[in-house]
Structure 1
Amino acid sequence: MIAECTLQVRSYECDSNGHVNNANYLNYLEYARYEFLKSIGFDYPKVISSGYGMYVARIEIDYKKSVFTDETLVIQSWPLKKGAVSGIIAQKILRGEDVIAEAKVTWAFVDSKGVPTKIPPEWNMPGFLPDKA
C-alpha cells in the first residue's frame, strides 16, 4: 500500500539560494509519515496516551532536484520492512513526474521510557507489512 499526501512549498522554507533548505525535507517526510500512519488506522495520539511511541532511529535521504516556493509536492510513503519492534518506511517526494528526493526511515516502537519494545497487538497494524507482490 502506498499512501500519498500533497503539500505546497511555503516561502519561509526556502534558503538564500531560493530553494527549499535540505532540513525542511525532514518536516515534509514527517508530515507524510503521520498521514501514512493515519491511513493504516494507527492512532498516534492514542498510542502516546497509552504509554508508547515510535522513534525515528535512522533516516537516509537522497536529494535529486531542487524545489522552489509555491511548488506542489506529492509525498508517497509505504512499508519496506517490519519486525517485532521496528521497521522501515520508504518515502518518495515528487513534483509531477520528477523525483525530488527518496528516503528510507527506520523506526522503533518504544515504551514510556523510550526503550524499544515489542509492538502490542492493538498497535501492530497490518499496514506496517510490506506488500508481498
Structure 2
Amino acid sequence: MICECSLTVRTYECDSYGHVNNANYLNYLEFARYQLLKAVGFDYPKVIKAGYGVYVAKVVIEYKKSAIAEDELLIKSWPIKKGAVSGIIAQRILRGEDIIAEAEVTWAFVDSKGIPTKIPPEWDMPGLKPDSA
C-alpha cells in the first residue's frame, strides 16, 4: 500500500536561500507517516492512551532538489520492512515528476518506559507490512 498526501510549502519553512530548510523535511515526513498510520487503521491516540508509542529510531534522507515557497508537494509513504517490534517506511517527496527527497524511516513500537516491545495484536495492522506481491 502506498499512502499519498499533499501539502503546500509555507514561506516560514524556507531559509535565507529561499528554499525549504532541510530540517523541515522531517516535519513533512512525519505528517505523511501519520497519514499512513491512519490509512491502515492504526489508532495512534488509542495506542498512546494505552501506554505505548511508536518511536523513530533512524531517519536517512537523500535530498535531490530544492523546494521553495508555494510549491505543491506530494508525499508517498509505504512500508518496506516489518518485524515483531519494528519496521521501515520508505517515503518520497515529489513536486510534479521531480523527486525532491527520498527517505527511509526506521520505527519501533515501545512500552510506557520507551523500551521496544512486541506490537500487541490489536495494533499489528496488516497495512504496516510490505506488500507481498
Give the TM-score of the pair, scaled to structure 1: 0.99
Alignment of 1:62-77 (within 5 A): 62-77=62-77
The residue type equivalent to 2:86 in the other structure is S
Instruction: Name the CA distance, whole Å, in 2 between partners of 1:56 and 1:65.
Output: 24
1:48-96: CA deviation from partner (whole Å, max 9, x where unpaired): 0011000000000000000000000000000000000000000000000
3-state SS, counterpart of residue 58 of structure 2: strand
1:25 aligns with 2:25: yes
Q: Which residue of 1 aligns with 2:102?
A: 102
CA-atom RMSD, angstroms? 0.3
3-state SS, counterpart of residue 87 of structure 1: strand
**C-alpha displacement of 1:33:** 0.2
Q: Which residue of 2 aligns with 1:117?
A: 117
Segments of 5+ residues of structure 2 without an aligned counterpart are: none
3-state SS, counterpart of residue 60 of structure 2: strand
**C-alpha displacement of 1:132:** 1.5
1:45 aligns with 2:49: no
Segments of 5+ residues of structure 1 without an aligned counterpart are: none
Q: Which residue of 1 aligns with 2:34?
A: 34
Instruction: Name the CA distance, whole Å, in 2 between partners of 1:132 and 1:114.
Output: 30
Q: Which residue of 2 aligns with 1:9?
A: 9
**Aligned structure 1 segments of 4 or more residues deviating by more than 4 angstroms:** none
Q: What percent of counterpart residues are identical?
A: 74
